[in-house]
């Protein structure tokens, strides 16, 4: 059940740089590449620019480089253990697994991510927010984050969850993936409640980070 | 001699009449007191009856009225879900929330009047089924199992209603008993926890 505005991934200079950065070069080299080559190619300004804090809506293919999608589904579809414990017995998600799940469950549009110290706000659509709230109420739902790097890369990725509202901080470090365009991680749906003000930080090769937060939909007036 | 005898007889009659008057007066006073006491008791009984009627209105009729809505509200929700599944109706989250809210209000409203394990268990199961199916319909499609769980919830809704009726009957009986039995003012309140809500 994908939401409208699906985003076909596209190759880009940025992704090529990620590939270079991920293939055994030092973090310093990655940082240099990221700073001087990757960042100017991003369509929406540099680090710290005002536009980076503007709410992002699902992106179209012409403006995106690194994107993220959310897939809302029952937790038992991907992991039998509780998120309260370290979920070591969760099987690793493959591309085909996720493609199957995308056929069955609600998928958000693709949101473009920008590197830099400011969190990009991912504005939910009303339909996705309604479903997310129902899923949070049901208490046994999860959200898969599907990162699309734009092209096949090899890299080490760290993801950190920082919350201001009754949710412990969480991190998942040193996930190495080989020659893949996508990387998946998943969390309890609670962590995506816009009211919790969670900031997600994804770092590639320890060099540069993408920060984002979930922002509530602008809901229409209920009569 | 005859004159003194006549006056003595006259005095005796006078005393008799006086005693008779005093007797009648005392009888009247006693009768008036008895009537006053009876009247007071009647008034007290009437007040108690009125109070019991008011208590019934609040404690019994109100939860009964709320519980009577539950099967209908559940039926609306299940019918909506069946429409969504059968004719691929576009789901309106607002409508779903409204239907869910009605069911929640009925259950929470009844639980405010009765503390009962069985009732709480039924209410919890119904509410969780509604929450889960709402999440399913908004994130994917309803399965046969989901519809079956809703049908089960419908039965539980009627069971919940029946439970409230039984508890209300028991509460009225308790009130009648406590009205008769003034000697036990510390008897447990009718709203105290009752483990089962089967017919009394």
**Is the CB of A126 less than 8 angstroms away from the CB of B139?**
no
For the stretch B34-57, pLDDT in tens is 999 999 999 988 888 888 778 777
Whether A147 and A184 have beta carbons less than 8 Å apart is answered as: yes
pLDDT of residue A218: 80
pLDDT of residue B55: 78
CA distance B98 to B128: 16
A105 reaches B (C-beta below 8 A): yes
Residue A188: which of A215, A164, A212, A168 has the closest Cα?
A168
A106 reaches B (C-beta below 8 A): yes
More confidently predicted of A26 and B33: B33
More confidently predicted of B182 and A126: A126
Per-residue pLDDT for A5 more than 80? Answer: no
More confidently predicted of B186 and B69: B69
B93 reaches A (C-beta below 8 A): yes
SS3 content of chain A, % helix, strand, coil (to 5): 30, 35, 40
**Is the CB of A1 less than 8 angstroms away from the CB of B131?**
no
Per-residue pLDDT for A50 more than 90? Answer: no
B92 reaches A (C-beta below 8 A): no
* C-alpha Rg value of chain A to the nearest Å: 17
Task: Determine phi and psi for B124, rounding to 5 degrees.
Answer: -65, -45
> Three-state SS for A70?
strand
Per-residue pLDDT for A207 more than 60? Answer: yes
For the stretch B126-169, pLDDT in tens is 999 999 999 999 999 999 999 999 999 999 999 999 999 999 88
Distance from CA of B56 to the nearest CA of A (A): 36
Average pLDDT over residues A105-114: 94
- CB atoms under 10 Å from CB of A127, counted, come to 17
Per-residue pLDDT for B22 more than 80? Answer: yes
Residues in chain A within 8 Å Cβ distance of B97: 130
Percent of chain B predicted with pLDDT > 70 = 86
Chosen CATH of B58-180 out of 1.20.120, 1.10.1040, 1.10.10, 1.10.357: 1.20.120
Residues in chain A within 8 Å Cβ distance of B134: 134, 137-138
pLDDT of residue A165: 64
pLDDT of residue A6: 38
Give the CA diameter of chain B: 128
Q: How confident is residue A221, by pLDDT bands cut at 50, 70 and 90?
A: low
Per-residue pLDDT for A132 more than 90? Answer: yes
More confidently predicted of B3 and B116: B116
CA distance B30 to A131: 80
pLDDT of residue A220: 63
pLDDT of residue B115: 87
- CB atoms under 10 Å from CB of B178, counted, come to 16
Does the structure's ipTM exceed the value 0.85?
Answer: no
Q: How confident is residue A163, by pLDDT bands cut at 50, 70 and 90?
A: confident
A134 reaches B (C-beta below 8 A): yes
pLDDT of residue A63: 36
For the stretch B173-186, pLDDT in tens is 877 777 666 544 44
Average pLDDT of every residue of chain B: 86
pLDDT of residue A102: 94
Q: Which residue of A has its CA nearest to B95?
A: A222
CA distance B35 to B161: 47
Q: Which residue of B has its CA nearest to A137?
A: B131
Q: How confident is residue A72, by pLDDT bands cut at 50, 70 and 90?
A: very high
A164 reaches B (C-beta below 8 A): no
CA distance B188 to B200: 17
Q: Of A105, A126, A139, which has the smallest distance from its Cβ to B139's Cβ?
A: A105
Q: Of A131, A140, A222, which has the smallest distance from its Cβ to B138's Cβ?
A: A131
- CB atoms under 10 Å from CB of A158, counted, come to 16
A125 reaches B (C-beta below 8 A): no
Q: Of A104, A140, A222, which has the smallest distance from its Cβ to B140's Cβ?
A: A104
**Is the CB of B139 less than 8 angstroms away from the CB of A134?**
yes
More confidently predicted of A171 and A151: A151
Q: Which residue of B has its CA nearest to A108?
A: B139
| Burial (Cβ within 10 Å: 0-12, 13-18, ≥19) of residue A8 | exposed
Domain locations in chain B as residue ranges: 58-180
DSSP-derived letter for residue A49 is -
> Three-state SS for A34?
helix
Contacts by B75-79, CB closer than 8 A, 24 or more apart:
B75/B154, B76/B102, B77/B102, B77/B103, B77/B130, B77/B150, B78/B150, B78/B151, B78/B153, B78/B154
Distance from CA of B131 to the nearest CA of A (A): 5
pLDDT of residue A143: 94
pLDDT of residue A17: 41
């Amino acid at each position: 059940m994908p939401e409208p505005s699906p985003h076909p991934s596209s190759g880009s200079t940025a992704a090529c740089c990620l590939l270079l950065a991920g293939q055994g070069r030092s973090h310093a080299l990655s940082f240099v590449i990221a700073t001087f080559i990757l960042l100017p190619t991003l369509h929406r300004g540099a680090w710290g620019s005002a536009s980076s804090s503007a709410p992002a809506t699902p992106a179209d293919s012409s403006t995106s480089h690194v994107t993220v999608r959310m897939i809302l589904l029952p937790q038992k579809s991907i992991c039998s253990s509780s998120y309260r414990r370290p979920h070591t017995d969760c099987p690793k998600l493959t591309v085909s697994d996720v493609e199957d799940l995308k056929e069955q469950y609600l998928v958000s549009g693709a949101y473009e991510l920008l590197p830099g110290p400011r969190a990009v706000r991912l504005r939910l659509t009303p339909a996705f927010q309604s479903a997310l709230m129902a899923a949070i109420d049901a208490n046994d739902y999860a959200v898969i984050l599907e990162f699309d790097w734009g092209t096949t890369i090899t890299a080490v990725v760290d993801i950190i969850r920082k919350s201001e509202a009754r949710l412990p901080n969480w991190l998942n470090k040193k996930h190495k993936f080989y020659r893949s365009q996508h990387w998946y991680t998943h969390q309890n749906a609670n962590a995506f409640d816009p009211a919790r003000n969670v900031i997600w930080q994804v770092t590639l090769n320890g060099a540069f980070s993408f920060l984002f937060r979930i922002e509530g939909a602008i809901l229409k007036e209920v009569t | 001699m005859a004159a003194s005898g006549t006056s003595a007889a006259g005095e005796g009659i006078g005393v008799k009449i006086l005693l008779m008057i005093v007797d009648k007066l005392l009888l009247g006073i006693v009768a008036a007191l008895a009537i006053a006491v009876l009247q007071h008791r009647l008034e007290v009984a009437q007040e108690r009856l009125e109070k019991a009627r008011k208590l019934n209105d609040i404690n019994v009729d109100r939860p009964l009225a709320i519980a009577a809505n539950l099967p209908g509200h559940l039926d609306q929700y299940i019918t909506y879900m069946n429409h969504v599944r059968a004719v691929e109706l576009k789901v309106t989250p607002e409508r779903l929330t409204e239907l869910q809210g009605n069911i929640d209000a009925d259950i929470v409203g009844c639980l405010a009047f009765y503390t009962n394990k069985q009732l709480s268990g039924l209410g919890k199961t119904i509410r969780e089924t509604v929450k889960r199916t709402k999440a399913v319909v908004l994130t994917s499609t309803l399965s046969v199992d989901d519809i079956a769980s809703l049908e089960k919830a419908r039965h539980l809704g009627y069971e919940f209603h029946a439970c409230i009726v039984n508890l209300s009957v028991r509460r009225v009986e308790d009130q009648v008993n406590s009205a008769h039995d003034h000697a036990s003012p510390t008897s447990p309140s009718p709203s105290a926890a009752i483990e089962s809500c089967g017919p009394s």
